[in-house]
Amino acid sequence: MGDNRNSDLLSRYEKMLRGEANSYFDTEEFYDIASEYEYMGYMDDALRAVENGLRFHPNTDILLAKRARYLLSLDRVDEAREMVIRVRIDNEDSFFVKVGLLFNDSDFDEGIAKMRLWLEMPDITADRCIDALELSSDYEVVDLSLPMILKYAERLPVRQRRDMLEDFLSILEEDGYMKERCLVYEKILDMEPFSGNYWREAFWAYMDAGNYAKAVEAIDYAIAVSPDDSSLLCEKADCLFRMGDFRRAADIISKNISRMEDKSYPYEILAGCFTNMGNCMASDRVLDIAQEIYPDNYKYWYLRAENRLYSDDADYNKCIEYLKYALRISPDDENVSLLLAKVYFKMEKYSDARALLGRLIDLNKADAKVYMLLGDVELKAGFPDMAIGYYKKALEFESFNADAFVKLVNAYSQVEDVENMIKAIDELELLIDSGQDKDGMNNDETVKGAKEIRKAIELIKSMLRNGMDGMI
C-alpha cells in the first residue's frame, strides 16, 4: 500500500488489515475509507476496502454501487454490469455506472436520458456535474451532454458554480475539447462580465477553436476592462492577422508598438502584415529594426526569406541563405524546414526537398502542408502514384483542404483512374453535407474550406462531363 495516509479512520483500518488491532467499521465508514483511497489514486485499495465492507455488510446498496463504479473504472465492464443490477435504490454511484454502461454499449440516446435523471436527483452538487462531464469525456459524448449539464448546474450557488466551471475548463482542455471550452467561458462571463482575465482567457479559447470573429469580440471586452494593457492589443492584432485582416492588424501594431514592453512578436506581426499585403520592402524595413533589438529571433530570418520568395524578383539563393541562418538558431522548426523545402521544390531540387520533408516526418512534425508538398514533389518528379498517397494523407489531417482535394483528383487523372476520381468527389460531397470535419469542428476555416471545395467539385465535374464522355 502507499504512504501519506494520515486520517484516523484509514489508520485504524490499515492496523486491522495488518492484524495489529480489532476494529469495527460501519457501512458509511467503509465507504469513506474507499473514497480516501480513491482520492489518493489507489483504486485497487479502494475496491478492496469496498469488498471488505460487503463482507461485513452484505447487500448494502451504497457499497454495491461503489463497487460497481470501481469495477467500471478498472474496465471490468461485465462485472460492473452484474454488480449494479443488485443495487435496489439508485444513488450517485449507481447512476454513474448505469450511464457509463449505456455509453459503453454505444446507446448514447438512452445514456443521455439516464444522465438527465441523474442530474435531476434532489440536492444537485458540483461533484455530480463534474462526474457527469468526466464520464462524457471518457466516452467522447461531451458535445451531447455539456449543454444539459450546464443547464442543471445553474441550480448551484454562484460561487460553487464558478469553481465547478473552472474544473470543467481543466477537464475539457486536457481532453482536447476546444469548442466546448468556449461554451463554458460564456457561462463564466455571464457571472463575471467585468473580469478582464476571463475575457482574455475566452479570447484564447476562441482562438484555439478557430472562431476568430468571437475571439475579436472577447479581446475587445478585455481591452475595454484593461485599456492600459498594451499586450491585449498585440493579441488582437495576432487574431486579425490570422483572419487575413492585415491592414487592421498592421495599424494596431504601428500605433501602439512604442508602448509595448516586449516588441519581439509585434515586430513579427507587423513584418508579416506588410509581406502579405505585397509590400516586401516595408517588411524588410521593419525587420531591419527588429533584428537590431532581437538578433537571435530566427523567425525574422524566416520572414526575410518569405520576402525574397514572394517578391516580383524572387531570389531563391537568398531564400536558402536566410533559411539556413534560421535553422542554425532553431534546427527543428517545422515552418522553416517546410519553406526551405518549397524553395528547393521551385528550383526542381526534388531530392533536397524530400530530405527535409522526410526529416519532419521522422521528428513527428508532419502535418497536411508537409504531405501536400511531398505530393507536389512526387507529381512533378513523375511519380503520380506516390503523390496520391501523400495527398490522401494530407486529407487525413485536414478533411476540408480544397487544394489537397483538387490535387488528389488531378493525380488520379494522371494515372487515368476515373473511378477513384469519382469516388473521391462523392466522398467529399458527403463530408461537406455533414457540415463537420473529423473533429466535429464547425469553425470559420472549416466553413470557408467547405465552400471552396464545393466550387472545386463543380469545376471538376464540368471538366469530366465535357472531356470524359459524360462519366459523371
- How do the pLDDT tens digits run along the chain, 472 residues long? 444 445 889 999 999 999 998 889 999 999 999 999 999 999 999 999 999 999 999 999 999 999 999 999 999 999 999 999 999 999 999 999 999 999 999 999 999 999 999 999 999 999 999 999 999 999 999 999 999 999 999 999 999 999 999 999 999 999 999 999 999 999 999 999 999 999 999 999 999 999 999 999 999 999 999 999 999 999 999 999 999 999 999 999 999 999 999 999 999 999 999 999 999 999 999 999 999 999 999 999 999 999 999 888 899 999 999 999 999 999 999 999 999 999 999 999 999 999 999 999 999 999 999 999 999 999 999 999 999 999 999 999 988 777 888 899 889 989 988 888 888 777 777 766 665 444 444 455 566 666 776 777 777 767 666 654 433 3
Whether residue 200 contacts residue 222, with contact meaning beta carbons closer than 8 Å, is answered with yes
Q: CB-based burial of residue 190 (10 Å sphere; 0-12 exposed, 13-18 middle, 19+ buried)? A: exposed
- What pLDDT is stored for residue 448 in this prediction? 63
- What pLDDT is stored for residue 431 in this prediction? 65
- What pLDDT is stored for residue 129 in this prediction? 98
- What pLDDT is stored for residue 405 in this prediction? 84
Q: Per the structure block, which three cell numbers stand in for 460?
A: 471538376
- What pLDDT is stored for residue 425 in this prediction? 78
Domain 367-472 has CATH 1.25.40.10: yes
Whether residue 266 contacts residue 237, with contact meaning beta carbons closer than 8 Å, is answered with yes
Q: CB-based burial of residue 404 (10 Å sphere; 0-12 exposed, 13-18 middle, 19+ buried)? A: buried
CA-to-CA distance for 87 and 63, rounded, in angstroms? 9
- What pLDDT is stored for residue 393 in this prediction? 96
- What pLDDT is stored for residue 221 in this prediction? 98
CA-to-CA distance for 237 and 216, rounded, in angstroms? 9
- What pLDDT is stored for residue 1 in this prediction? 43
Whether residue 307 contacts residue 330, with contact meaning beta carbons closer than 8 Å, is answered with no
Whether residue 37 contacts residue 45, with contact meaning beta carbons closer than 8 Å, is answered with yes
Enumerate the H helices of 347-417 as residue ranges.
Answer: 350-362, 368-380, 384-397, 402-414
CA-to-CA distance for 365 and 145, rounded, in angstroms? 34
User: pTM of this prediction?
Assistant: 0.79
